[in-house]
Amino acid sequence: MPSWAAKGDPDKGKELFTQCGVCHNADSEEKKMGPGLKGLFKRDKLASGKKVTDGNVRTQIDEGGKGMPPYKDMLSDQDKDDLIAYLKTL
């Protein structure tokens, strides 16, 4: 397991998610501009077709795609850890 996995603070991630919430629902699977993220880590696949893992979710955050901007340089590694920790609570 990568060293950054499971280091995040879900409460801080929830605060960060407010900017993600413009395009993503946290409380449903219903699509907004991007896919709804409720139950994300209980799913088999991401919208990209890749398996739902910390690494693949992090890559999606970093690289964006399908209309999502890349956040690689906008969020710190700690921010991404916190965000992933929060997504696991949905």
Q: How would you write 31-49 as a 3-class SS string?
A: CCCCCCCCCHHHCCECCCC
| pTM of the predicted structure, to 2 decimals | 0.90
Residue spans of the chain under pLDDT 50: 1-5
The residue extents of the domains of the chain are 10-87
Rounded percentage of the chain residues whose pLDDT exceeds 70: 93
Distance of CA 82 to the CA centre of its chain: 10
> What pLDDT does residue 6 have?
57
Domain 10-87: which CATH number of 3.40.50.300, 1.10.760.10, 1.10.10.10, 2.130.10.30: 1.10.760.10
